[in-house]
Amino acid sequence: AQKVTQAQTEISVVEKEDVTLDCVYETRDTTYYLFWYKQPPSGELVFLIRRNSFDEQNEISGRYSWNFQKSTSSFNFTITASQVVDSAVYFCALRSSNQGGKLIFGQGTELSVKP
């Protein structure tokens, strides 16, 4: 079975704090892709990153960084020096090679960054 778990439903931080959003996934496939999306209040989904199962290198993009650990089936997302504009719901998602292109989303983490 394919499953994505984001255990943190809501996180509240003060501006400039660092924050990590957790994501744990389950799949029996050896080839799969992991994604993070940001959903601001307007509702659209903003693509942040895609990572395939064969690439465990961590990635940094500005204030964003991702830690992919196959050993623990985790793909965590860290925002450094958070800003009010980072306030949104963040979704982790999984696409396995045998799922016909379907994305399985986690429950989402609502991040609130207060000034």
111 near another protein, rule: CB under 8 A = no
Q: Within a 10 A sphere around the Cβ of 103, how many other Cβ atoms? A: 15
* Residue nearer to another protein on the CB measure, 83 or 98: 98
According to the binding rule CB under 8 A, does residue 103 interact with another protein?
Answer: yes
108 or 113, CB closer to another protein?
108
Cβ atoms of 56 and 46 closer than 8 Å? no
Q: 34 and 26 in contact (C-beta within 8 Å)?
A: no
Which residues of this protein are in contact with another protein, per CB under 8 A? 33, 35, 37, 42-45, 47, 50, 52, 91, 95, 100-108, 110
